[in-house]
Amino acid sequence: MTPEHLDVLIVGAGLSGVGAAVHLKQLCPDRSFAVLEARDAIGGTWDLFRYPGIRSDSDMYTLGYRFKPWTNAKAIADGPSILSYIHETAREYDVDRHIRVSHRVVRASWSGSDARWTVEVERGAQQGVAGERTVLTCSFLFLCTGYYNYEHGYTPDFAGIERFQGRVVHPQKWTPDIDYSGQRVVVIGSGATAVTLVPSMTDRAQHVTMLQRSPTYILALPGQDKLANWMNRRLPLRLAYGITRWKNVLKSALFYRLSKRRPQLIRKLILKEAQRALGPSCDVSKHFSPSYNPWDQRVCLVPDADLFKVIRQGKASVVTDHIETFTERGIRLRSGQELPADLVVTATGLDLLAFGGMEIVVDGRRIEPHDTLSYKGMMLSDVPNLAYAFGYTNASWTLKADLTCEYVCRLLKHLRASGNQIAVARRDPAVQPEPLLDFTSGYVQRGIGRFPQQGDRAPWKLHQNYFRDIQVLRRGDIDDGTLVFGKAQPAAVAALDDRLARRAA
């Protein structure tokens, strides 16, 4: 039986994947496509995470799609609202019928002689039970799989954890049966998940303690954008959204640039605001003053200073120390202090995973992502007809994902107009590899070796700059001298080319 063939196969139906489907439908309406989602529902991150208070860590006017205005009054939105926005987008733009859930891509194999990918899919797998295997083919593969493992998060090996008589849960595995009413809760961590959990749990818990090994920069922002809401009432919706989006892009870019150029100034301002919100009794220098500069790691946002408020009210507290061991009734710290706990939430980070863990093979050769270079932050060196969406670390993820989707559509149009079938970014041997991300965060350092590298010069350099990417991805030439175009080669011709290339090397 001949496998079903599609022009484009999108892998992942989260925020990026649904956006990719809309772009493709709008800009390349004559191309057949499908979206494969490994889980049993769309939404990605926003369907997976169910822990208390789950919300965005950037404003929705930039995390939302360029083509669909965010109309909710909340600028820093809760998870269910974001999930509803994704579902609404899929229905409104009629791409939901192209999404196939419970379809996990296991392996994708490229054949240069056919100019197509053969994609092996496991369909209907549940709780460790393998599903049936099926095969699809496509001319272009677009990976919108995110960057972390959906099966589990990262939890360090804590001494004595087996003795603890309470419950331990990672936020990624939160279930509705977890009742913390009247309980003493310890949240281990200081990142975006921890600062979200702590204020959200104080309404039912007896007390919540945020236990951190080292502090994080935490910046309070209004939960609602008053100017945006005012414009939404008085201006056409798309105009109001566009103005707010650019305002927030410019503000975040300016803040990032100042953080890099004047780190001590920004550090002083952040700590001053934290002290003002927390009051004089809190030791800000101990609990909220990191050893690194702003944006060496991601700055955490808290809407309406909710974390600071519950600490000041005594509903929550922060402890900066190292864990020596778990005990039967809590956690003993290196200082000798013991934190009593009924529930411990290990908000200790993500387990990074490249491209959903799928195997990529090109003409019989297995591709290790770390051995490749990232072309324009969206293609892999020497891997034909494949792109991936990878957002910004210093701004909203969707800003870069949207630009990548636009570029992929431009590339598909260029291939057809030029009479070609293949586009591949050929690696220049003179380009020196560098880590894809320069963040010092633990989760990045643990997993960056699973991802492609960037190069030391354009177009292999990852700039993390929205304005520059607009010029390169939205307006720059497709045929830039690095992308090589061609047509399908019969196997005998491809083998001869390979032999000649090896002889020349």
In three state form, how does the secondary structure of 171-204 look? HHHCCCCCCCCCCEEEEECCCHHHHHHHHHHCCC
CA distance 470 to 448: 26
Q: What is the pLDDT of residue 493?
A: 43
Look at residue 490 and tell me whether its pLDDT is greater than 70.
no
pLDDT, one tens digit per residue, over 350-395 is 888 999 999 999 999 999 999 999 999 999 999 999 999 999 988 9
Give the sign of the dihedral formed by CA 424, CA 22, CA 172, CA 82. Answer: positive
Whose CA is closest to 410, among 359, 351, 346, 475? 475
Q: What is the mean pLDDT of residues 32-55?
A: 96
CA distance 207 to 33: 51
CA distance 249 to 402: 14
Q: Check if 4-150+351-504 and 161-346 are the same fold.
A: yes
The DSSP symbol for 70 reads -
CATH 3.50.50.60 assigned to 4-150+351-504: yes
* Domain boundary assignment for the chain: 4-150+351-504, 161-346
Q: What is the pLDDT of residue 139?
A: 97
pLDDT-above-70 percentage for the chain? 94
Q: What is the mean pLDDT of residues 443-450?
A: 75
Q: What is the pLDDT of residue 350?
A: 87
In the predicted model, what is the mean pLDDT of the chain? 93
Helix runs in 279-333, H state only? 284-287, 306-312
pTM of the model: 0.92
Q: Please, are residues 140 and 33 in contact by the beta-carbon 8 Å criterion?
A: no
pLDDT tier at 148, thresholds 50, 70, 90: confident
Q: What is the CATH number of domain 161-346?
A: 3.50.50.60
Element (DSSP H or E) covering residue 117: strand 116-123
Q: What is the mean pLDDT of residues 175-198?
A: 96
Q: What is the pLDDT of residue 446?
A: 77
Where residue 53 falls (left for φ over 0; alpha for ψ -120 to 50; beta otherwise) is left
Q: What is the pLDDT of residue 475?
A: 93
Q: What is the mean pLDDT of residues 30-35?
A: 97
Look at residue 441 and tell me whether its pLDDT is greater than 70.
no
Q: What is the pLDDT of residue 448?
A: 81
Look at residue 60 and tell me whether its pLDDT is greater than 50.
yes
pLDDT tier at 438, thresholds 50, 70, 90: confident
Q: What is the pLDDT of residue 129?
A: 63
- What is the per-residue burial (b if ≥16 Cβ within 10 Å, else e) of 481-497? ebbebeebbeeeeeeee
Q: Please, are residues 125 and 39 in contact by the beta-carbon 8 Å criterion?
A: no
Q: What is the mean pLDDT of residues 246-257?
A: 95
Look at residue 233 and tell me whether its pLDDT is greater than 80.
yes
Q: What is the pLDDT of residue 489?
A: 76
